[in-house]
A and B are shown apart, each in its own frame.
Chain A
Amino acid sequence: EAQVTQNPRYLITVTGKKLTVTCSQNMNHEYMSWYRQDPGLGLRQIYYSMNVEVTDKGDVPEGYKVSRKEKRNFPLILESPSPNQTSLYFCASATSGRSYEQYFGPGTRLTVT
């Protein structure tokens, strides 16, 4: 089954404790992206990657890091999480020729206390 998977689905952590949210896709997509969803603000893009070793900032990259060492994986790293990073996070992937038509994962609910 073609899908984008994220782990963990739920995470409660404390301020300053480094964490990684994994994202993996099995569709051989070149393009991958991370978003956060917050009430009243919709979806905001954090980082995206057009291909392996090619990443770029979205609209809200501060406090986040990404890496794209393999085509299928695109982890999101919070080096020192803060309460304002409490949010619902989505990973997405797409083919390079139709990168606007994205397939989303199920989401990761992160709470930073």
Chain B
Amino acid sequence: DQQVKQNSPSLSVQEGRISILNCDYTNSMFDYFLWYKKYPAEGPTFLISISSIKDKNEDGRFTVFLNKSAKHLSLHIVPSQPGDSAVYFCAASAYAGGTSYGKLTFGQGTILTVHP
């Protein structure tokens, strides 16, 4: 049972335009959400996160939006650059006590291609 789903396997965007990657989750206990980026032959790297007490978090060209009622989050990249071409994974976690988030559940990933 996939608790975190990325329904779009791939996305193609022109350089300079906006990229929107989507993610849905089913577990209402999730209260922290993240996006990771992965280049071929490398491990994933952390990109941006959002707590369930917020509905938006920005970091430069990257913005994550959280809609708790719809159990949906999205990552906006503006403007998109060819170097953003990678696989993007969303992930979710539930608070485990103290300052801990131990278990992390990932989506299937979306391949983003940004064309020059």
Question: Which residues of the other chain, A, contact B85 by a CB distance below 8 angstroms?
Answer: none
Q: Which of A14-22, A65-73, A76-84, A91-99 contacts B (4 or more CB under 8 A)?
A: A91-99
Please report the total number of A residues contacting B with Cβ < 8 Å: 28
Interface 0/1 of A76-113, CB less than 8 Å to B: 00000000000000101000110111111111000000
- Interface range, B side: 20 to 34
Residues of A within 8 A of B (CB): 4, 31, 33, 35, 40-45, 48, 50, 56, 58-59, 90, 92, 96-97, 99-107
Q: Beyond A45-B103, A103-B46, list 14 extra A-B contacts (CB 8 Å).
A: A35-B106, A40-B108, A41-B108, A43-B91, A45-B104, A99-B101, A99-B102, A100-B34, A100-B91, A101-B49, A104-B44, A106-B41, A106-B42, A106-B43
Residues of B within 8 A of A (CB): 4, 6, 32, 34, 41-46, 49, 89, 91, 93, 98-109
